[in-house]
Amino acid sequence: MKRAPQDQSTWTKKLKMMVADWVRRAWRFLKKKWHRYQLTRWLIIVFLSLFLMASIYLTFVAKTADVKNLQSRLEKPTMIYDRNHNSAGSLYSQKGTYVKLDRISQNVPDAVLSTEDRNFYHEHGFSVKGIMRAGLLLVKNKIMHRNYISGGGSTLTQQLVKNAFLTQQQTFSRKAKEIFIAVEVENQYSKKDILTMYLNNAYFGNGVWGVQDAAKRYFNSDASELTVPQAATLAGMLTSPGTYDPVAHPEACKQRRNVVLQLMVDNHKLSQAAAKRYQKEPLTINNGYHASGTYRYPYYFDAVISEAIQDYGLTEKEIMNDGYKIYTSLDQGQQKAMQKTYHDDDNFPQSTGSMVQSASLAMNPKTGGVTAVVGGRGKHVFRGYNRSTQMRRQPGSTMKPIAVYAPALEHGYYYDSYLQDEKQSYGTNHYTPHNYNNQYSGSVPMYKALYESLNAPAVWLLNKIGVNEGYAMAQKFGLPVQKGDKNLALALGGMTKGVSPEQLARAYSAFAADGQLPTSHFITSIKDATGHTIKRKSRLTNKQVISKKNANTMTSMMIGVYKHGTGKSAKPIGYTLAGKTGTTDTGIKNDQTNRDQWIVGYTPDVVVATWEGYDNKQNQQTNIQENNINSLFKAEMGSLLPHTAGTKFKVEDAQEKAQKGTKSGNDFWTDAGDFANQVRQGAGSLGQKAKRLWDGISSLFQ
């Protein structure tokens, strides 16, 4: 049943009385407790404590913001120097041509201050009115569920601080930091200095920073010659360079210019009559700006930035804008030669679809310093994909010297030890390596197996010395082998992750440097704008990974790669190289195309590792071994080696040494001692040991 209207009214009145009574009781209780526990006092204490803590924190932020060095950082670009401490180029993302205030037309400060901060000379870094306006905007945006401050409130000094120290994110915490750092800037610098820094650090669109370059970009003029309407145009762009871009949006730019001219009238910097006259002038753009070509070695500079971030703890913004001096291992002659080779498309196979890619890296084997690098072909992208340092591909036969022949020498084999060269299956999975030409000689000396890149002898030898030995040696040489790589396929470069040209160049440096493995690096030292040296997180060290004797024996064998073997067509005229070639196949039965091609070549002065292939691993190259990459490498080394000291190897080609009848380096008594060890270990060619032992005994009676 529905209630009568009178009953409903009575019920509503009773409910209101009950609620009112409950509210009165609650209020009396709260009031009693509030007075009893002095909650007002506690709230004030809590508020003041929080305010004090925030002030201490923000003061700390301001004091540690390196305000003292702001001017020197903004005046100077970050410079990169080569190995001889000669300038190689500069880095800057927010710097243009820095000019002093007396080289800037007075029309520019008049227009900028009239638009951005009329009270610039009468405030100490921040504006109370501006803060209140920003606070109201923050409250409004919070109500509308927007977690940012929608503009307003920033003085010229605050804008400088935002560009130099902080992000562009519009939040309350950033705004608070901005104010405190702005006060610190005002304490450290004069108004003239602050205005100069601002005008040189402001962004004017189209990749142009600073008023001097902006004057060139839009009016083909120097900053000192800017007219009133030109200055008003630039000042108007500061609010939104994209919106008021005179090139893309000339009409919007002109309207904004006219607004600025009126603001100059309001600020008593221009008469009304002059403003009207200037407002009628057309907007004329004349581009005379030429971007500085100081990023001349893009892949090298990219790698320098990445290393400074990773090993020195700097940020990209700091590196690009804070005027550091970065000293590197760069050899400008080698770098130019390498880049020239890569710019010549005739050095690469023609693409039927995707571009054939390639990457190359040169390293000083004694120090590990990278002297030259190219990370790819085609258009360079700032800090994009650098194949020389970031790519990982299976190394193919370039792994044989590291995982097979070097550990074999360490375990008593000789450069002329005979290895079994037969088609053979191993293990329960019947792993069966094939020589590239499917021909087998029964036995072959080690040096020949290496320079002809025969697969069967390499796998046989790794099986003899033990996969664990090859795996351990690859680890010692700094290659990123995984537990799953502990199998005989490691002899032919079978790896889970693969290697980069940088890692391979570093590994081969041990052969060129008497068995010492260096730490690869681009940077030798960094100094900030004040001359203070930035400390590297970890030291650069060299460690002995194989004996000097065996390193030289490996070099002796690998000289044959370029004299008689798979790298013969890659040898530049007039130079002796050691190294190794390598390919990886597609894994398709009866398919003789290559997925990746590698070649490493070195002298006592430089190690160069080069890769060629496709970014998409499913693509494949149709040319095998000696074709594509050998011609590229020959051109590359032919132009790069003249920029080295030309140091000669102290060892001769292993094959020539064997043909002369030179002994392997161990005398009869050493062979006799080794014989027993080889019997116990079951590793090595016992037939050869027996023959040497017999020859030694026979020689005693001759």
| CB 598, CB 610: distance < 8 Å | yes
Tens digits of residue pLDDT in 258-286:
999 999 999 999 999 999 999 999 999 99
Which whole number is the average pLDDT over 58-80?
69
List b or e across 286-316, with b for residues whose CB sees 16 or more CB atoms inside 10 angstroms.
eeebeeeebbbbbbbbbbbbbbbeebbebee
Q: What is the pLDDT of residue 125?
A: 66
Residue bearing tokens 């019997």: 679
Q: Answer whether residue 136 shows pLDDT above 90.
A: no
Distance CA 634, CA 617 (A): 25
Q: Answer whether residue 327 shows pLDDT above 70.
A: yes
- Who has greater pLDDT, 113 or 529? 113
pLDDT band at 702 (very low <50, low <70, confident <90, very high): very low
Distance CA 586, CA 617 (A): 9
The secondary structure of residue 211, as a DSSP letter, is H
- Neighbour count for residue 215 (Cβ, 10 Å): 29
Tens digits of residue pLDDT in 464-504:
999 999 999 999 999 999 999 999 999 999 999 999 999 99
Locate 551 and state its tokens.
């390193």
Calculate the average pLDDT of the chain: 85
Which whole number is the average pLDDT over 173-188?
74
Q: Give the per-residue SS3 of 637-695.
A: HHHHHHHCCCCCCCCCCHHHHHHCCCCCCCCHHHHHHHHHHHHHHCCCCHHHHHHHHHH
The secondary structure of residue 499, as a DSSP letter, is B
37-51, 445-459, 595-609, 684-698, range with the lowest pLDDT: 684-698
Q: What is the pLDDT of residue 618?
A: 65
Q: Which of 185, 134, 192 is nearest to 164 (CA)?
A: 185
AA letter at 237:
M
Q: Answer whether residue 680 shows pLDDT above 80.
A: no
| CB 205, CB 245: distance < 8 Å | yes
pLDDT band at 29 (very low <50, low <70, confident <90, very high): confident
Task: Report pTM.
Answer: 0.76
Q: What is the pLDDT of residue 700?
A: 38
Per DSSP, the residues of 255-275 read HHHHHHHHHHHHTTSS-HHHH
Which whole number is the average pLDDT over 23-52?
71
Which whole number is the average pLDDT over 288-301?
87
Q: Answer whether residue 459 shows pLDDT above 80.
A: yes
Q: Which of 285, 356, 363 is nearest to 330 (CA)?
A: 363
By percentage, how much of the chain surpasses pLDDT 90?
Answer: 61
Q: Answer whether residue 63 shows pLDDT above 70.
A: no
Q: Answer whether residue 252 shows pLDDT above 70.
A: yes
Query: Which residues are known catalytic residues?
Result: 116, 397
List b or e across 408-432, with b for residues whose CB sees 16 or more CB atoms inside 10 angstroms.
bbebbbbbbbbbbbeeeeeeeeeee
pLDDT band at 290 (very low <50, low <70, confident <90, very high): confident
Select the CATH number that applies to the domain covering 370-376+389-659 from these four: 1.20.1050.10, 3.40.1160.10, 3.40.710.10, 3.30.2310.20. Answer: 3.40.710.10
AA letter at 611:
W
Tens digits of residue pLDDT in 576-589:
999 999 998 744 44
Q: Answer whether residue 139 shows pLDDT above 80.
A: no
Q: 701 burial class (0-12, 13-18, 19+ CB within 10 angstroms)?
A: exposed
Q: Answer whether residue 685 shows pLDDT above 50.
A: no
Dihedral sign, Cα of residue 236, residue 239, residue 243, residue 248: positive
Which whole number is the average pLDDT over 176-192?
80
| CB 442, CB 462: distance < 8 Å | no
If you classify domain 70-77+93-279 with CATH, what class do you get?
mainly alpha
Q: What is the pLDDT of residue 73?
A: 74
Tens digits of residue pLDDT in 527-572:
988 889 999 999 999 999 999 999 999 999 999 999 999 999 999 9
Q: What is the pLDDT of residue 168?
A: 46
Q: What is the pLDDT of residue 70?
A: 72
Q: What is the pLDDT of residue 316?
A: 87
Using alpha carbons only, what angle is made at residue 341 by residues 336 and 342, rounded to the nearest 5 degrees? 100
Using alpha carbons only, what angle is made at residue 570 by residues 567 and 573, rounded to the nearest 5 degrees? 120
Q: Answer whether residue 324 shows pLDDT above 80.
A: yes
- Who has greater pLDDT, 92 or 414? 414
Question: H helices of 477-586, where?
Answer: 501-512, 548-563
Q: What is the pLDDT of residue 60?
A: 56
Distance CA 300, CA 330 (A): 8
- Who has greater pLDDT, 10 or 151? 10
Put residue 202 in one of left, alpha, beta given phi > 0 → left and psi -120 to 50 → alpha: beta
Q: Which of 290, 284, 296 is nearest to 257 (CA)?
A: 284
Q: What is the pLDDT of residue 701?
A: 40
Q: Answer whether residue 152 shows pLDDT above 80.
A: no
Q: What is the pLDDT of residue 182?
A: 78
Q: What is the pLDDT of residue 677?
A: 41
Tens digits of residue pLDDT in 621-644:
554 344 689 999 999 999 999 999
Dihedral sign, Cα of residue 224, residue 226, residue 227, residue 232: negative
| CB 571, CB 577: distance < 8 Å | yes
Q: Answer whether residue 688 shows pLDDT above 70.
A: no
Judged by DSSP in three states, 79 sits in: strand
